[in-house]
C-alpha cells in the first residue's frame, strides 16, 4: 500500500481529469482495472489514485508486480472466468429447473448441472434470496417492522435468526431493511428523545410510574416475574430461535406475546 502512503498531494490526484486520458492510456487503464482481486478489494476507493500514479509515472510496476497485478487480465489469465453480477431470467430458469430435480443442496453440482458459469455460492444465494418458493418481497408490514425492531433488540445483528421468525423473509432482506430504514428511524428517535429529555428532565418517580403503567397494560406482574425467572435461569437465544425443526415458523402473535414479556423485563431492570 506504499503507493497511497507515498502519494503526493492527494487532493491534486483526486482532481486529476481522468477523462482527458488518451486512448492508448485507456488501454492501460483497462489493464489496471483487471488488477489483482486482493488489491482492488483493499483499496476500491483508491483505484483511480493508483491509475493516476501509474499513468503519470510516479509508479511503474516491476515485472513481478506486473505479473501479480495483471494475472486476471482476460488475455493473460489462466484462471477460469465465472459470471458475476445480476442474474438473467434465463439463468434463473436453468437454476430452478435443476433444483427441482436435484434439490437445493450440493451447490457446486447444481451450478455445473445447470450449465451456469457461476460458483455454487452464488447459486445458493440466488435461490435462498430470490427463487425459493413462498418468498415475500418488499412491503414489510408495520407488524413485521415492529417484530424486527424487538428481535434486533434481543438478538443484535443475527439476521438469519431474526429472518427465521418472519415467514417468507430472508436474512438479506431483513439486513437491508434494517440498514436502509430502521437504523435511521432509531437514530432519529434517539435524537428526539435526547431533545425532549434536555427540555424537560424526567424525575425518577415519573419514570417509575410510567414503567408500572406499561407493565400493567402489557402483561401484568405475574407474567413479568415468570419472564424474569426464565431470564435468570439463563436464556439461550440459539436454542430458543432454533429453526432447524420441522415445526415451521412460529406465528407472529405468539412471538409478539413473548417479546412483550421480554420488553417488560428490560424495562423492569431499566435496561
Interface contacts to DNA, rule CB under 7 A: 37-38, 40-41, 44-45, 83-87, 105-108, 118, 120-122, 124-126, 129-130, 137-138, 157-161, 171-173, 175-177, 179-181
Of 12 and 121, nearer to DNA (C-beta) is 121
Tell me the closest approach of the beta carbon of residue 68 to DNA, in angstroms: 15
Tell me the closest approach of the beta carbon of residue 162 to DNA, in angstroms: 8
Tell me the closest approach of the beta carbon of residue 165 to DNA, in angstroms: 12
Tell me the closest approach of the beta carbon of residue 161 to DNA, in angstroms: 6
Of 107 and 260, nearer to DNA (C-beta) is 107
Of 27 and 108, nearer to DNA (C-beta) is 108
Of 83 and 267, nearer to DNA (C-beta) is 83
For the chain, the first-to-last Cα distance in angstroms comes to: 44
Tell me the closest approach of the beta carbon of residue 137 to DNA, in angstroms: 6
Q: How far is CA 120 from CA 54, 108, 109, 130, 139, in A?
A: 36, 4, 7, 15, 30
- d(C-alpha 51, C-alpha 59), whole Å: 9
Tell me the closest approach of the beta carbon of residue 184 to DNA, in angstroms: 7
Of 45 and 232, nearer to DNA (C-beta) is 45
Q: Is the dihedral of CA 214, 217, 223, 227 positive or negative?
A: negative
Say if residues 218 and 262 touch (Cβ distance below 8 Å): no
Query: Residue 243 contacts by C-beta under 8 Å, 6 or more apart in sequence?
Result: 161, 164, 165, 249
Instruction: Give the three cell numbers for residue 27.
Output: 488501454
Q: 90-116 burial by CB neighbour count: b if 16+ within 10 A, else e?
A: ebeebbeebbeeeebeebeebbebbeb
- d(C-alpha 125, C-alpha 92), whole Å: 12
Of 122 and 215, nearer to DNA (C-beta) is 122
Of 25 and 171, nearer to DNA (C-beta) is 171
- d(C-alpha 82, C-alpha 91), whole Å: 13
Tell me the closest approach of the beta carbon of residue 193 to DNA, in angstroms: 22
Amino acid at each position: 500500500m506504499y503507493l497511497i502512503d507515498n502519494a503526493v498531494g492527494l487532493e491534486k490526484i483526486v482532481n486529476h481529469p481522468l477523462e482527458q486520458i488518451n486512448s492508448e492510456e485507456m488501454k492501460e487503464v483497462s489493464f489496471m482495472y483487471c488488477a489483482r482481486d486482493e488489491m482492488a478489494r483493499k483499496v476500491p476507493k483508491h483505484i483511480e489514485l493508483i491509475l493516476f500514479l501509474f499513468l503519470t509515472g510516479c509508479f511503474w510496476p516491476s515485472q513481478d508486480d506486473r505479473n501479480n497485478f495483471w494475472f486476471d487480465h482476460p488475455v493473460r489469465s489462466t484462471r477460469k472466468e465465472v459470471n458475476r453480477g445480476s442474474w438473467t431470467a434465463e439463468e434463473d430458469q436453468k437454476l430452478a429447473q435443476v433444483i427441482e430435480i436435484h434439490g437445493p443442496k450440493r451447490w457446486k453440482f447444481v451450478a455445473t448441472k445447470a450449465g451456469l458459469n457461476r460458483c455454487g455460492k452464488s447459486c445458493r444465494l440466488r435461490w435462498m434470496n430470490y427463487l425459493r418458493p413462498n418468498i415475500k418481497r418488499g412491503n414489510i408490514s408495520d407488524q413485521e417492522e415492529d417484530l424486527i425492531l424487538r428481535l434486533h433488540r434481543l438478538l443484535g445483528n443475527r439476521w438469519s435468526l431474526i429472518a427465521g421468525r418472519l415467514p417468507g423473509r430472508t436474512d438479506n432482506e431483513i439486513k437491508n431493511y434494517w440498514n436502509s430504514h430502521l437504523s435511521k428511524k432509531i437514530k432519529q428517535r434517539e435524537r428526539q428523545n435526547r431533545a425532549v429529555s434536555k427540555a424537560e428532565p424526567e424525575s425518577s418517580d415519573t419514570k417509575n410510574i410510567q414503567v408500572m403503567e406499561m407493565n400493567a397494560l402489557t402483561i401484568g406482574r405475574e407474567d413479568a416475574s415468570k419472564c424474569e425467572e426464565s431470564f435468570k435461569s439463563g436464556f439461550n437465544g440459539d436454542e430458543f430461535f432454533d429453526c432447524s425443526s420441522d415445526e415451521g415458523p412460529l406465528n407472529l402473535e405468539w412471538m409478539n406475546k413473548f417479546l412483550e414479556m421480554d420488553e417488560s423485563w428490560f424495562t423492569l431492570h431499566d435496561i
